[in-house]
Amino acid sequence: MSDEYDNNKSYQAQSSEVLDGSAGSINPDIDYVRPAEIPEQDLYHAHSFIEKWVFCQDAKVIGVQYFLTAAFTGIIGLILSWLMRLQLGFPELAGFMTAEHYYQFVTMHGMIMVVYFLTALFLGGFGNYLIPLMVGARDMVFPYVNMLSFWMFFVAVMVLMASFFVPGGPTGAGWTLYPPQTILEGTPGSGTGILLMLISLSLFVIGFTMGGLNYMITILQARTRGMTLMRMPLTVWGIFTATVLAMLAFPALLVSAIMMTLDKVLQTSFFMPTILKAGEVLEYGGGSPILFQHLFWFFGHPEVYIVALPAFGIVSDLISVHARKNIFGYRMMVWAIVGIGGLSFFVWAHHMYVSGMNPWFGFFFATTTLIIAVPTAMKVYNWILTLWRGNIRINTVMLWCLGFIVTFVNGGITGIFLGNVSVDVPLSDTYFVIAHFHMVMGIAPLMVIMGAVYHWFPLVAGKMLNETLGKWHFWITFLGAYSIYFPMHYLGFIGVPRRYFEMYDSPYMTSAVGMNEFISIAAFIVGAAQFILVFNIIKTLKTGKKAEQNPWKANSLEWYTSTVPPEHGNFGDRLPVVHRWPYDFSVPGAKEDFIPQTTAPSEVAHTEVEKT
Amino acid sequence: MSEQKIDGFELKPGFKGMASDTGSDQTMFKGVHWGKAMMWIFLLSDTFVFSCFLISYMKGRGSTIVDWPNTSEVFSLHVGGVPVPLLLIAIMTFVLITSSGTMALAVKYGYEKNRKMCGWLIFATAIGGLTFVGMQVFEWSKLIHEGVRPWGNPFGAAQFGSFFFMITGFHGFHVSIGVIFLFIYTYKVFAGHYESKKRGWFTKMKGDYVEIEILGLYWHFVDLVWVFIFAFFYLW
């Protein structure tokens, strides 16, 4: 609490419990925690360099491996977006690029960013690193399977990258891979490119399933003593719910990938209707392209929340730590995460309003889509109420969090436009859609990733990232991202269609050209600004200031390991025992402004803590 | 419901008991082995895979322009010149369900530390699975011989072959994986790895008879999926 405010009784939460230790009469039972149920985990320690850093079974190393591999694909995706913007803003400079190239870049940029970058980074990267530390486990429950998960992902990435080098290049069908055009001649990469994409996606799903089982069982069955579900940091809740979604949504992707592979290789007609090509009837007939769209979006919409929910969770923790205040409405936040996760399985066809499905479907899916706005808005209010009267530290991490809230609200509001059928139909396939989803699931989660990197880097590497460089990184990215996506809303309103290589002689050729140039310049700058982080990391690893243990004065268990960075087994000889939630910041009556999760109630007598 | 005990855990009955387990620390499913919980969740995910396949099949079959082949003719066997519908499938289903029975017995004897019985029953299960896959190969080759292909067939809608080969193939793949693991576990049980706490070849982890039950869960699931495939392909 800042000093200006009198800590008045009337502001205190109703569920708080006064630990009244009057004259040594503390009941000894208040420190009681149930004895251990699960035996010590049998850990296999690495014996060689390869076992320690390559085929490693330690979840923390696997997390870093996932992070680096995903970041590598992210940089590829970034370069592809530069090439796209070069063509759109300055076509005269992009003479080397044909329309086929452009479609391939669009497709690969989309698929890489959504699946191989964001999903892998949040669940594989942050999930592996943080879950065992935050719930107080020594490692993931199946370390060997966890290792296989990463290497399966690695192979999937390699197969995907290989598609750049095969004859015909990668697929250029758009990241949604809609049949029939995806596998028909004339679409770029309809030969080997699409096949490699489908194989890569299948491998990704298999690899993810192995990881996902680990995340779920570690959270459900391997928490430390005293760690109840409602004492877990929201990061863990976000990653957990996202994993559940992924385990139930990726099957649809796997099935559609298998069916499309068969359509491609064995000439089956699952998704292929009767097709006339240059007056000739092709071999295909009788299949349903809409079936693919249903399968794809049954995966595709939960996928949005697979990316968003970990971001929601992580940002809640970052805001709470850096505003020195407990998260407002913790239980509400948990139920909102779970509720959004549940609802996300009933909204998929809002991606298909213009596909020609029954209009009553559109009515149903518009309703469910708008219902999702309720728990989402609850979360936004809670973030803001957490900040309210907090002791806010305006550091790099907090800047990214604030940037996230603003961007997420912005993208969320355009989502309400697009969720309504009658508004969506004219806006379909325009730049408005691009602006919407880049704001809400591109920039917003990315801001959280950046904040999380600045927050947890001291834990992972034991050194503090440079704040000045961090602030430059933030401001360029934040202002730049708005310069890119804000104008795109207007491009959408005047009707500029997306995925077009050029505007030919349409009216957009003249009216949108200035805006396109501006967006492209902003995109080059924002992209380049991301290398500030790369530079910052390299510089910090070489010459950075050594981080003390728990530099942010946080409460959650990952900061209370026996060493920093934590070694294999995380917590030394004894696992921590948890007595409280991780959000006891600025507790009235406490000596310091934070009470770690491991502090027993009798040690903080006369304080007023939330009952968790 | 009476009070139940699992490995020393007092489990309270009913909704209250479930709520108190969920609200407690450390584990949500009291006394449940990690691997067993993992298998249940994997099977839930796999259920979605097969559901997607079967729903696609329903959609595909419901919207073809050409008539679907008459399955009781296509799948019939000729015994002494008389076509007997469902004969082969009945035998296949019988073999697979029986193997589920031997699997359940293997789990029982495993927990009773009756190593010999357990080993023989897993072996019997593996043979049952192998027989099933063998009969599936026979059925596939018979259909291919009659001209059924993934891209078309002489009896009706082309999607018949596509869906049939894809879905039974995917199921057969599951059975084959199961058979491989059954043989591995047969070896491990007979070699006494669970008694000597020998560490695994790859995972370097000690084994336990609970692994038999985990494999059993998978095997029963594969059986259950077959029942649905049986109903959707052969009875519809």
Confidence of residue A4 (pLDDT cuts 50, 70, 90): very low
Whether A324 shows a pLDDT value over 80: the answer reads yes
Name the closest residue on chain B to residue A224, using Cα atoms.
B26
Cα–Cα distance, A460 to A563 (Å, whole number): 11
Whether A36 shows a pLDDT value over 90: the answer reads no
Cα–Cα distance, A176 to A437 (Å, whole number): 14
pLDDT digits (tens, 9 = 90+) for A286-313: 899 999 999 999 999 999 999 999 999 9
Give the best residue of A149, A269, A271, A568 to mutate against chain B (max B CB count within 10 A): A269
Whether A360 shows a pLDDT value over 60: the answer reads yes
The DSSP output letter for A281 is: E
pLDDT digits (tens, 9 = 90+) for A240-265: 999 999 999 999 999 999 999 999 99
Please check whether residue A348 touches B, CB under 8 A: no
List of long-range contacts for A72-77, beta carbons under 8 Å, 24+ apart: A72/A157, A73/A112, A73/A116, A73/A117, A73/A120, A73/A157, A73/A160, A74/A112, A74/A113, A74/A117, A74/A121, A75/A530, A76/A108, A76/A112, A76/A161, A77/A108, A77/A109, A77/A112, A77/A113, A77/A117
Please check whether residue B169 touches A, CB under 8 A: no
- Please list every residue in chain A whose beta carbon sits closer than 8 Å to the beta carbon of residue B174: none
Cis peptide bond prior to A565, omega within 30° of 0? yes
Q: How much is the average pLDDT of B34-52?
A: 96
Q: What are the domain boundaries of chain B?
A: 67-235
CB contact under 8 A, A248 and B48: yes
The pLDDT of residue A207: 96
**Per-chain mean pLDDT for chain A:** 91
Whether A5 shows a pLDDT value over 50: the answer reads no
Cα–Cα distance, A108 to A82 (Å, whole number): 13
Whether A278 shows a pLDDT value over 90: the answer reads no
Name the closest residue on chain B to residue A223, using Cα atoms.
B26
Confidence of residue A30 (pLDDT cuts 50, 70, 90): confident
Contact A432/A489 with Cβ under 8 angstroms?
Answer: yes
Nearest to A223 among B26, B46, B206 (CB): B26
Distance of CA A23 to the CA centre of its chain: 50
CB contact under 8 A, B29 and A220: yes
- CATH domain B67-235 topology: Four Helix Bundle (Hemerythrin (Met), subunit A) (1.20.120)
CB contact under 8 A, B45 and A221: no
Contact B187/B211 with Cβ under 8 angstroms?
Answer: no
CB contact under 8 A, A283 and B150: no
ipTM, two decimals: 0.93
Whether A2 shows a pLDDT value over 70: the answer reads no
The pLDDT of residue A18: 60
- What is the reported pTM? 0.93
- Please list every residue in chain A whose beta carbon sits closer than 8 Å to the beta carbon of residue B202: 144
Nearest to A213 among B41, B150, B163 (CB): B41
Least reliable range by pLDDT among A125-134, A534-543, B63-72: B63-72
CB contact under 8 A, B23 and A578: no
Q: How much is the average pLDDT of A212-231?
A: 95
Please check whether residue A513 touches B, CB under 8 A: no
CB contact under 8 A, B24 and A225: no
The minimum CA-CA distance between B111 and chain A, rounded to whole Å, is 20
Name the closest residue on chain A to residue B65, using Cα atoms.
A286
- Please list every residue in chain A whose beta carbon sits closer than 8 Å to the beta carbon of residue B150: 262, 266-268
Nearest to A286 among B38, B157, B205 (CB): B157
Whether A165 shows a pLDDT value over 50: the answer reads yes
